[in-house]
A and B are shown apart, each in its own frame.
Chain A
Amino acid sequence: MSNATTASVKFHRDLYHEQAITEAAASFADFASFKVRSDGEHYVVDVADINPEVEGDVVAEFCNFALANSAMRLKNSET
């Protein structure tokens, strides 16, 4: 979580679903570019070209979206 124009975020595989991360990345595609890769127990998302004119923290909001999407996927899979 940072305000720089690039950032890297690690999402643990047990807690974040890959599809949930890519959906969150698609939601924020207008504000930055996202590359998702696997690294051991984590998915690593390299965020680049973050639009500095956007109000708020794009990376942190992206993390919240990834978490919300993962939670919703788990809930939907249970019902």
Chain B
Amino acid sequence: MAQSKIETIDAKTSTLTLALDIDLYPRDVLYAAAYVFLDRAYVLLDRDGQRFIVHVRGKQPLEEETLRAFAGEFENELLAQALRQKVFAANQRIIENVANLAIFGAVGSEADEEGEAAAGDEGTDLSGLHGADDDGMDFLNDPLGIAKPWETGKKGDE
């Protein structure tokens, strides 16, 4: 992998310096990757011509193997962030459209509810609606026997 390179590594001070090709990793990708490591390391970014220089120092003492793993992890994070931003850019219109539909849908249903409530306040007669007539029966009454179980052996067949 020629796109990044460990410039210095020092286990005594738990420090690591990486050099990255500026053409391969845009600034926002570098920020995003560095941000992920801020809880575990102190990160200082610099630029030297066409290279980004990343100075990393572990918040805890780190051995050389761990520092090398750290460098690999940083490179992986760079790739992940670059891919994430590419996917986001490709799908941005779709995401915006879905969000707009959700927002306008919510606003529309609220407006409908407000409209119905306003109609109710004006004294609209709802007595003609199906089921509005109350003949004094409740849901436990069963004059036609339709609530009996149809399976044999059940209590309703006896």
**Interface size on A (CB < 8 Å)?**
20
Contact B31 A9 (CB under 8 A): no
Contact of A60 among B32, B35, B42, B46 (CB under 8 A): B42
Contact B47 A63 (CB under 8 A): no
Contact B44 A1 (CB under 8 A): yes
**Interface size on B (CB < 8 Å)?**
17
Question: Given the complex of chains A and B, what is the CA–CA distance between A74 and B42 in angstroms?
Answer: 20
Contact of A70 among B31, B46, B47 (CB under 8 A): B31
Question: Given the complex of chains A and B, what is the CA–CA distance between A79 and B57 in angstroms?
Answer: 31
Residues of chain B from 116 to 157 with CB closer than 8 A to chain A in the complex: none
Residues of chain B from 95 to 123 with CB closer than 8 A to chain A in the complex: none
| Chain B residue at minimum C-beta to C-beta distance from A42 | B46
Contacts of B34 in A (CB 8 A): 67, 71
Question: Given the complex of chains A and B, what is the CA–CA distance between A10 and B46 in angstroms?
Answer: 8
Shortest beta-carbon distance, A54 to chain B, in Å? Answer: 15
Contact A68 B35 (CB under 8 A): yes
Contact A15 B42 (CB under 8 A): no
Residues of chain B from 36 to 76 with CB closer than 8 A to chain A in the complex: 38, 42-47, 52, 55, 57
- The answer to the question of B27 belonging to the interface, with a C-beta cut-off of 8 Å to chain A, is yes
Binding site for B on A (CB under 8 A): 1, 9-10, 12, 14-16, 41, 57, 60-61, 63-64, 67-68, 70-71, 74-75, 78
Return 6 A-B CB contacts under 8 Å, by A number.
Answer: A1-B42, A1-B55, A10-B46, A63-B43, A67-B44, A68-B38
